[in-house]
Structure 1
Amino acid sequence: MARRREIAAQVEGLDTSRESPHESPPAAHPRTARAEPSARSRIMLLRALDAEPVAAAARAEPVTAAALTPEDAFDALYVYAAPGLIRQAHVLTGSLRLAFESAEHAFHRAWDHWPEVARDTDPVGWLRIQTHAYALSPWHRFRRLFRRPSPAPVDPLLRAIRELPPRQRRALVLCDGLGLSVSEAAAETEAGTAATRNRLLHARAALHELRSAEPWDATRDSLAVFLESMSGSTVSHPVSVREDSERRIRMLTRTVYTAVAVLIALVAYTIATTP
């Protein structure tokens, strides 16, 4: 408990004064009203640590600067955000296997760039961008040549969303599933506001046509409920994610060193044997 108090106090004291690059969004739907990015980041870590009850008491206790280690912060972020990111990637791809892979890829990149992610005003948003980009990468289509394709989703809503173009799927998940405004979704996807709005409208129209027997409000609520029904029972342990990321970096470093050494040897051999 004392350790949790120290971590909670450090999280409460994190410097999140950097302004968000996103423009001020309009008011969100009451069902999905969200906090400001900086406040949301602190709340997110406190929830992951299950530290809300002790946060108030922890503020009055002196803590050392090293109380919250990078490993502690990363593990807290992973425990809180990984289940939701897997759900989002599952909706975007229709493949649970690719959804897990996309979320782990995002956390590998987060650990590789941990100082940047730790100082970001919205670390969950940073991870979401990485997860969605990997999940919707066009390179995955070539994997079908070497792997058996994933079975079609059982949920009829997921099957309907899978029929939409990738950009429309992403706009639908961000705006109707997570409650982001059109301007926030446009900034996250690096697209214009008008283009994002058009993608969202086309996605809604196509989804409503595919599910004409169900009112649109019920479809939107079903999507939001699916994304909120997060369970962390099947996700990897954060320690294994960190270790895997570090192992990948070591292998990449060794590969680069080996390639450079081979190149130097070839150049030296060529110089020595040239008349």
Structure 2
Amino acid sequence: MTQSPAIPLPPPAERRRLRESLSLTQAQVAKRVGVSRETVRAWETGRTTPRGRRAQTYASLLAAAPTPSTATTSTTVTAAASAAAPLTPAQAFDALYAFCAPALVRQTYLLTGRRELARESVERAFQLAWHRWPEVAVDPDPAGWVRATAYECALSPWHRFRARHRHPEAPPADASDRALLSVLLKLPPPYRRTLLLHDGVGLGLAETAAETEASTRAAANRLLHARETVAARLPDLQDPGRLASRLAGLATHARLRAARPSTVRAGSERRARNWTQAAIAFTVALIGATAFTLHTAPTRYEPPVAPGTTVQGVPPQAAPGPLSRTEQNLRRKLRTTTTNGPQRVLPQPR
């Protein structure tokens, strides 16, 4: 048996241009290929690459686009290069936030089933990204960095100790969405995360394994187990393509909104400022305690007193003084008054 050759695909930037030349949106392409809109966006940015049947359908769709002339292409590239300008850190962060945050909030909602927790987790992840922006900016996949951080924040076991966690949120209004979300939340967190990354986000098996910090074999077993569990509860979702479409629809129906990027940056700076002030206050308290200890501690060694040695400077024990008139009257009364009480028990001879 001969192995089928890899399906040739244009570069990521060219994929977007071909889609726009066909006057198609990402949602329309996703519907034709059978994937989610976030998956098509990942293909156009180069974060993931389609494989198998989806790659063949996607390549056939892009092949129908008209091919521009060489002069037009060179003019377009030159204009794009001249129009490009270096972005400031805030602008780059805002662009990443606008690109990832809306979809990431919906994905995190599928992990937790809680809207407010999904918003908090994504906001916290972007706050950490802004705090460590020099590191995140040069990361090969900054969107993956933020996604992994948001998932870790959302699945943290410490949320169970919060008072808000004890009150469940209202489930989706649609019965099918409610059933799918119930099945997802019953899966173990690693299985749920693997299923969402592979079938919901559209990552490959190797990328899913790397993001979940598992081997490829373990990620494949988790994915198969999660699909079998969903198919056992919902038989109409046995097809992975239909399951991916339902996951995208469930996330879209949640109608979740993310905060503004400026608000997230301000929150990150405020949190960093508070932590800095707390660290300074703790350092000052530690220095003060150390100085007080050094000031009150003895400056020379005093050996212990040996047994039998006369201790100097201790006043002699004073003898008891004469009794007062009240004390004398009390002593006389106690000596002359018969004490009332039970009679003494005497042994009787037999």
TM-score in terms of structure 2 length: 0.60
Q: Deviations 1:54-76 (Å, cap 9, x if unpaired)?
A: 9862412585xxx4111111111
Per mean C-alpha deviation after superposition, the further-off stretch among 191-200 and 133-142 is 133-142
Asked whether the 8 Å contact 1:94–1:152 carries over to 2, the reply is: no
Judged with a 3 Å threshold, the aligned counterparts in structure 2 of structure 1 residues 96 and 56 are, in CA distance, closer, same or farther, namely farther
Q: Which of the numbers 291, 294, 311 marks the counterpart of 1:271?
A: 294
Bigger RCO of structures 1 and 2 (CA < 8 A, at least 6 apart): 1
TM-score in terms of structure 1 length: 0.75
What is aligned with 1:174? Answer: 197
Aligned residue identity for 2:168: S
Aligned residue identity for 1:240: T
What is aligned with 1:105? Answer: 124
What is aligned with 2:271? Answer: 248
State the shift of 1:100 in Å.
0.3
State the shift of 1:212 in Å.
2.6
What is aligned with 2:260? Answer: 237
State the shift of 1:160 in Å.
1.6
What is aligned with 2:144? Answer: 125
Note the residue ranges of structure 1 that are not aligned, 5 or more in a row.
1-11, 13-28, 42-53
Q: Are 1:59 and 2:81 an aligned pair?
A: yes
Q: Are 1:141 and 2:141 an aligned pair?
A: no
- Paired with 2:128 and 2:277, the residues of 1 have a C-alpha distance of 19
Question: What RMSD in Å do the two structures reach over aligned CA positions?
Answer: 2.7
What is aligned with 1:68? Answer: 87
Note the residue ranges of structure 2 that are not aligned, 5 or more in a row.
1-12, 14-32, 49-75, 299-350
State the shift of 1:237 in Å.
1.1
State the shift of 1:36 in Å.
7.8
Q: Deviations 1:132-177 (Å, cap 9, x if unpaired)?
A: 1111112212225x65423253232212211111001000000111
Q: Deviations 1:38-97 (Å, cap 9, x if unpaired)?
A: x459xxxxxxxxxxxx9862412585xxx4111111111111110111011100000011
What is aligned with 1:191? Answer: 214
Q: Is the partner of 2:293 in helix, strand or coil?
A: helix
Aligned residue identity for 1:97: E
Aligned residue identity for 2:297: T
Q: Deviations 1:196-218 (Å, cap 9, x if unpaired)?
A: 11111111111111213554343
Q: Which of the numbers 121, 133, 137 marks the counterpart of 1:114?
A: 133
How many residues are treated as equivalent by the alignment? 230
- Paired with 1:175 and 1:164, the residues of 2 have a C-alpha distance of 15
Judged with a 3 Å threshold, the aligned counterparts in structure 2 of structure 1 residues 221 and 126 are, in CA distance, closer, same or farther, namely same
- Paired with 1:62 and 1:160, the residues of 2 have a C-alpha distance of 47
State the shift of 1:30 in Å.
6.8
State the shift of 1:273 in Å.
1.3
Show the 5 A alignment for 1:20-99.
31=35, 32=39, 34-35=42-43, 39-40=46-47, 57-61=79-83, 63=85, 67-99=86-118
- Paired with 1:199 and 1:179, the residues of 2 have a C-alpha distance of 16
Asked whether the 8 Å contact 2:131–2:268 carries over to 1, the reply is: yes
Aligned residue identity for 2:167: P
- Paired with 1:99 and 1:62, the residues of 2 have a C-alpha distance of 34
What is aligned with 2:247? Answer: 223
Judged with a 3 Å threshold, the aligned counterparts in structure 2 of structure 1 residues 55 and 94 are, in CA distance, closer, same or farther, namely farther
Higher Rg of the two aligned structures:
2
Asked whether the 8 Å contact 2:109–2:251 carries over to 1, the reply is: no
What is aligned with 2:21? Answer: none
- Paired with 2:82 and 2:119, the residues of 1 have a C-alpha distance of 40
Q: Which of the numbers 169, 176, 180 marks the counterpart of 1:151?
A: 169
- Paired with 1:230 and 1:70, the residues of 2 have a C-alpha distance of 31
What is aligned with 1:51? Answer: none
Q: Deviations 1:3-55 (Å, cap 9, x if unpaired)?
A: xxxxxxxxx9xxxxxxxxxxxxxxxx873464386x459xxxxxxxxxxxx98
